[in-house]
Amino acid sequence: MQSQTAQSVSVLGSTGSIGVSTLDVLARHPQRYAVHALTARGRIAELAQQCRRFKPRFAVVATEKGAVELRQLLADEASSVEILWGSEGLCQVASDPQVDVVMAAIVGAAGLRPTLAAVEAGKKVLLANKEALVMAGPVFMRALARSGARLLPIDSEHNAIFQCLPQPCASLEEAGVEKILLTGSGGPFRTRAVSDLHRVTPDEACAHPNWSMGRKISVDSATMMNKGLEFIEACLLFNARPEQIEVVVHPQSIVHSMVQYRDGSLLAQMGNPDMRTPIAHALAFPERIDSGVAALDLIAQGRLDFEAPDIQRFPCLRLAREAMDAGGSAPAVLNAANEVAVEAFLEGKLAFTSIPAVIEQVMKSAQVVELTGLDAVETADCNARLQARQVLEAL
Ligand code: NAD
Ligand code: MG
C-alpha cells in the first residue's frame, strides 16, 4: 500500500479466538496497521504479552482489579500503555477520534455498547460480535445509517455473502438476487444419535469438527443456534426477507455461503476454514492482502457435500426464525435466553437438549415490544436473563 500513515485499529476482545487471529493478520502488515487499543476481560497475563508485542496506546480490562494486575505485569517495561477499565473504557477506545478501524470481537451482549459506540462514531467497524447486531437489530441499523459508518462482516458466512454480492449493493432486488444460501457445518452432533444428545458434555460440544473458536460460539454451533443468529444477522446486514435466506448444511466448511441470482448463477466463496481470511478481507477491503491462510487445495479436498438441516434435531433454528418473524425485542430475548442457557450448560448445570427448551419457554413468556433505542434493548435483554434464570431454577 502507498499510504504514508498506518491505520489505527482498536481490537475489542483481543485475547479471544477472533482477537488473536486479528493480531496475527495485523502483525503481517506493520506498515499498514498500528494497534491503538487491546481489550480483554480475563487472561490478563496474555493481554500483557500482547501489549508488549503490539505497543498499543490503550489497554482496557473489565475491572479495576484487572487494571491493577495489568499495571503490575507491565511495571518493568518502559511501557507507555494507558490502562482503562469497564464499559466506559471500551466505548472510549471504540470511538476515539484517532481510531480508524474497530474490530468488534467481544463475545455476547457485553459487546453491544462499545460496538454501537464505534458505529455512532462513524468508524470502519469489523463485526464479529453478531450478538450485538442480533439483539439491537433496528437500533443498530439506524445508528449505522445516521453515522455513515462502514460495517464489514467478519462472520465467515456473511463475509462470503458480501463477497458474492456486487459492491455497493443497494438492494438484493436490483442486484438480481433471488436467494442467499447460508451454509453451516452442522457442528459436532450432526450425525450423533438424537437419543444420546441429552448427555453430551461441554468438551464434546466445544470440539468443533472444522473451526477452533471460543466456547460460547462452539456450543452455539453444536445447537445450531449459531446458524439461527446468523440467519437474523443476514436479514439485517443484507436487508433480506426471511424467506430469501435458506440454511444449507455443508459439513466440510469449505463453501462459506452462496448467493443465487435470477439468471441461474450461484456464486460461492470458498476457502480453508480459517477466520484470518474474512479478517484480512474486511481489514483491507477493497484491496486484498496476505492473511497467512494457505490456498485451498480442491483436489486434496476431493468432495463437497450439501444437505438440508434437520429441524427436529436442531430446534434452535426454528426458534431463531420465530424470533425474526415476531420482530421488535424478540431477537434480543432469544439471544439473552441463549446466553444464559449456554453458560449454564458450560457450567454443567443444564443438559444440552434443555438449551432450546429454556429459550423457548423464555420466548413464550416475554412480551414483544418495539425497540425504540438502546434502553429498550437493554431492558429486553435484562428481563429475558432474569426470566431464563427462573426457568433454570425451576428445572
Ligand atoms: P472468545 O471467547 O474466544 O473471546 C471473547 C473475547 O471477548 C475475549 O477477549 C474476552 O476477554 C472478551 N470478553 C468476553 N466477555 C467480555 C465482557 N463481559 N466484557 C469485555 N470483554 C469480554 O470468543 P470468539 O470465539 O473470539 O468470538 C468473539 C465473537 O466473534 C463472538 O460474538 C462470536 O460469535 C464471533 N465469531 C467468532 C468466530 C470464531 O471463529 N471464533 C467466528 C465468527 C464469529
Ligand atoms: Mg459464522
The pLDDT tens digits of the residues spanning 137-147 come to: 999 999 999 99
- Which pTM does this prediction carry? 0.97
Nearest to 3 by CA among 147, 136, 100: 100
Q: How far away, in angstroms, is 289 Cα from ligand 1 center?
A: 24
Cβ-Cβ contacts under 8 Å for 196 (sequence gap 6 or more): none
Residue whose CA is at the smallest distance from ligand 1 atom 18: 110
Which has more confidence, 20 or 77?
20
Q: Looking up cell 504479552, which residue turns up?
A: 49
pLDDT at 146: 98
CB atoms under 10 Å from CB of 166, counted, come to 11
Give the ligand whose atoms come closest to the C-alpha of residue 115: 1
Instruction: For residue range 77-88, list pLDDT tens digits in order.
Output: 767 899 999 999
Is pLDDT of 316 > 80?
A: yes
In the chain, the percentage of residues whose pLDDT exceeds 90 is: 96
Does ligand 1 come within 6 angstroms of the Cβ of 81?
Answer: no
Contact residues for 307 (Cβ-Cβ < 8 A; gap 6+): 248, 249, 250
Please tell me if the CB atom of residue 138 comes closer than 6 angstroms to any atom of ligand 1: no
Q: What is the pLDDT of residue 80?
A: 85
Q: Is 209 in the pocket of ligand 1 (CB under 6 A)?
A: no
For residues 231-254, average pLDDT: 98
185 Cα: distance to centroid of ligand 2 (angstroms): 10
Mean pLDDT of 296-320: 97
Q: Which pLDDT score, from 0 to 100, does residue 1 have?
A: 46
Name 59's bridge partners: 38, 83
- Per-residue pLDDT, averaged over 199-212, amounts to 94
Q: For residue 185, what pLDDT is reported?
A: 97
Note the maximum CA span of the chain: 64
Q: In the predicted model, what is the mean pLDDT of residues 103-114?
A: 98
Place of cell 425497540: 371
Q: What is the pLDDT of residue 158?
A: 98
End-to-end CA distance of the chain: 58
pLDDT confidence tier of residue 3, bands split at 50, 70 and 90: low
Residue 58 parent element (H or E): strand 58-61
Distance set, CA 205 to CA 256, 284, 354 (Å): 21, 34, 14
From 11, 14, 15, 18, mutation site for ligand 1 pocket: most ligand atoms within 8 A of C-beta: 18
Q: What is the mean pLDDT of residues 323-332?
A: 98
Three-state DSSP state, 393: helix
Question: What is the pLDDT of the chain when averaged over all its residues?
Answer: 97
Q: What pLDDT band is residue 300 in, cutting at 50, 70 and 90?
A: very high
Average pLDDT over residues 384-393: 98
Residue 165: its pLDDT value, please?
A: 98
The DSSP element (H or E) to which 275 belongs, if any, is none
